[in-house]
Structure 1
Amino acid sequence: MVLMKKIYICVFLVSFLVGETTQEPGICFYGEEAWTQAKDYFTQPSTCHEGRPIDCNDIPDKCRSGVYKVFPNQTQGFDVYCEMNLDEGHWTVFQRRENSYVDFYRGWNDYKSGFGNPKHEFWLGNSLEHHNGHGFSTKDSDNDNYNGHCAIVYLGAWWFNKCVTADLNGQYFLTTPDAQHRGVYWRAWKGANYSLKGSVMMMRRVSKGYTQH
């Protein structure tokens, strides 16, 4: 009689930010093939980081989600996060909120050039095109249709119309915001007084431009 040992391999990714640790969701493999499964999962095809992809749409299908260097418009290239699993993959992530470590209450130049870490909280930059016909506003650039300045009144940065529809770049709150429209909110979903604990904005190239998600 042969007794087979059960093998479990679990991997958890831990990041160190501002003196604290954050643990990302892990993955486990089990059974006789656990070592092989783990090796295959963490070994990407050699083609994943080859060539000069324009954006995440050019990353091979079998590659995992992660940071890749892209070369749009014959640039020298810069790092982006490619979401390769959700909704057929190949999404270029241009915004992510997950905690309060990165300050999103910034001026136009910061939003134009980008800031943060693509693996965590960040804004990609060069993503200020008109959204549903509305200009992007920051604390030092007022392009909304309000008689005041939405970005200053509500401490955010967004494609504001008359301020109160949404702002995923607003202040991050773990509890109820100190006033309406002050948090990371999407009014049509959770209302104006609920601050979301995370958000991800992505775009993917289609035949005549980009689609957003």
Structure 2
Amino acid sequence: MALIHVACFLILCSISSAQFRGDSDGVCAPDDGFGKYCPTTCGVADYLQKYKPSMDKELDEMEYLLEEISNLTKGAQDKVTYMRDSATQAQKSNPPDYYIKRSSNMLDDILRFERSIIEQESKIYELERMLGTNEKQMLQLKQLSLQLEQKCQQPCQDTIKIEPTTGKDCQDIANKGARTSGLYFVKPMKATQQFLVYCDIDSTGSGWTVLQRRRDGTLDFSKNWIQYKEGFGYLSPDDTTEFWIGNEKIHLLSTQSTIPYILRIEMTDWEGAKKHADYAMFKVGPEVDMYRLTYAYYYGGDAGDAFDGFDFGDPSDKFFTSHNGMQFSTADKDNDRYEGNCAKQDRSGWWMNRCHAAHLNGRYYKDGKYTEKDAGENGFDNGIIWATWHSRWYSMKETTMKMIPINRMTTGGDQQTGVKQFGGLGDI
């Protein structure tokens, strides 16, 4: 039965919808995991190819055992026939009393042999039934493997829609006429190759390049330096998945233009309330500077300026929890100002100080509220935090980080009131 379950699992995997990894380069990647947006079924075919030899070997061994059992059964049947014939002969040619008693004993032996034969035949029937079922399953797997091999010999094709317009960021794409939010390829000015991003484009032509999404906690943000550098998670055309676009990509996007960018942080709490915070002249430095975060000032919003730090009760807390000018830290590369390792304690990557008042890559807590006990052995506030809205022991339900040239905030009808403005900037 275990074999049948395995076979069913493989068949179900093979008919799942094809998927696409966020920053795929178009090459068939056999080691891609199975998920909602994986690029290929080559991994299933490789698994089948690995699975077939062991199953063929087991089937050969089963056939050998069946042949042995068949030979033993035939020998037992021949012996029973011989014993019956011998008993009949003995009764004809010898005194009845002695041979009747002897024949009775022989018949008892015959009955025992017959019962043994019946049991063996029952086992043989069960083995033959299993063999037939396994042969049928193996035939299906072989046919499926051939189909998958044929697919993998062909170039991998996108089964999700990637919009045709390209540009140096999502605003550049919107300037070229795109009005549909979705997946686009961008190539910043200093980038050596294009990469895939999700563009949030509204009807006024404002094109936001999305850097981070938290939706439902399905993606683990406990990653190392390389993973945060290159990016992780999945991009989807319907904007339902979680991801970190990658520090190197954020650096290339945010430093390419003479027109500064706005970083917008959008959050949703577990009661359904939505708030945001904007930061002007947002940039992320190169890797040699550990992807340092800088911005000029808080541009506005209703979530409060948590990047500026927060007074948790000690006047020094605000200074030690501000994020402007901080380098990026992960568990395996500590660049914070704390004697310990904030990223290791929180199991995430972020622009840590000692340690934070804002942390959007923290641990995902269902229902929002959590305690020191929930946070683990260290007991530190490690949730998805924005301290100027909710307390440090409240973890957000959804977050988004996205960027746009600052001139679109004044020309696109999305400007904030009561904050500094930049005028006279044309579209990039």
TM-score, normalised on structure 1? 0.69
1:173 is matched with which residue? 365
Q: Per-residue deviation at 1:189?
A: 1.2
One-letter amino acid matched to 2:230: S
Alpha carbons of 1:185 and 1:88: their partners in 2 closer, same or farther (altered >3 Å)? farther
Tell me which residue corresponds to 1:198.
Answer: 398
The equivalent of 2:220 in structure 1 is 103
1:157–1:167 contact (8 Å) kept in structure 2: no
Q: Residue in 2 aligned with 1:49?
A: 164
What secondary structure does 2:365 align onto?
A: coil
Q: Which residue of 1 aligns with 2:207?
A: 90
Q: Deviations over 1:95-138 (max 9, x none)?
A: 00001211101001001000111231001112362222000111
Change (3 A) 1:206 1:49: farther
Structure with the largest fraction of strand = 1
Where do 4+ consecutive residues of structure 1 move more than 4 Å?
none
Q: In the TM superposition, what is the alpha-carbon distance from 1:76 to its structure 2 partner? A: 2.6
1:123 paired to 2:244: yes
Query: Residues 62 and 78 (structure 1 numbering): CA distance in 2 closer, same or farther, change over 3 Å?
Result: closer
Higher helix proportion (structure 1 or 2): 2
Shift of 1:62: 4.6
Distance (Å, rounded) in 2 between the aligned partners of 1:169 and 1:200: 11
Instruction: Give the whole-Å Cα distance in 2 for the aligned partners of 1:109 and 1:194.
Output: 29
Q: How does 1:174-189 map to 2 (within 5 A)?
A: 174-175=366-367, 176-177=369-370, 178-179=374-375, 180-189=380-389
Deviation at 1:153? 1.5
Instruction: Report % sequence identity.
Output: 40
For residues 85 and 114 of structure 1, the distance between their equivalents in structure 2, rounded to whole angstroms, comes to: 25
> 1:6-25 alignment to 2 at 5 Å?
none
- Of residues 329, 337, 349 in structure 2, which corresponds to 1:137? 329
Does the CA contact (< 8 Å) of 1:164 and 1:192 recur in 2?
A: no
Residue 59 of structure 1 aligns to a residue whose secondary structure is: helix
**Structure ID, larger Rg:** 2
The answer to which of 158-167 and 192-201 deviates more is 158-167
Cα distance in 2, alignment partners of residues 161 and 181 from structure 1:
14
- Residue 58 of structure 1 corresponds to 172
TM-score by length of structure 2 reads 0.36
Deviates more, 1:171-180 or 1:81-90: 81-90
1:50-101 per-position Cα deviation (integer Å, ceiling 9, x unaligned)? 3x40111111355111110111225331110111129962111010000121
- The answer (yes or no) to whether the contact 2:364–2:383 under 8 Å persists in 1 is yes
* Alpha-carbon shift at residue 205 of structure 1 (Å): 3.3
| CA separation of 1:95 and 1:19: change in aligned 2, threshold 3 A | closer
Q: Which amino acid aligns with 1:122?
A: F
The answer as to whether partners of 1:156 and 1:167 remain within 8 angstroms in 2 is: no
Distance in 2 between the 1:70 and 1:19 partners? 25
Q: Which runs of 5+ in 1 are unaligned?
A: 1-15, 21-47, 208-213
1:157 and 2:349 correspond: yes
Distance 1:86 1:101, change over 3 A: farther
CA RMSD of aligned residues (A): 2.7
Give secondary structure in 2 for the equivalent of 1:188: coil
Amino acid at match of 1:159: W
Residue deviations 1:153-180 (CA, integer Å, cap 9, x gap): 1222111111131111011111323135
What does residue 68 of structure 1 align with?
A: 184
Q: Secondary structure at the match of 2:171?
A: helix
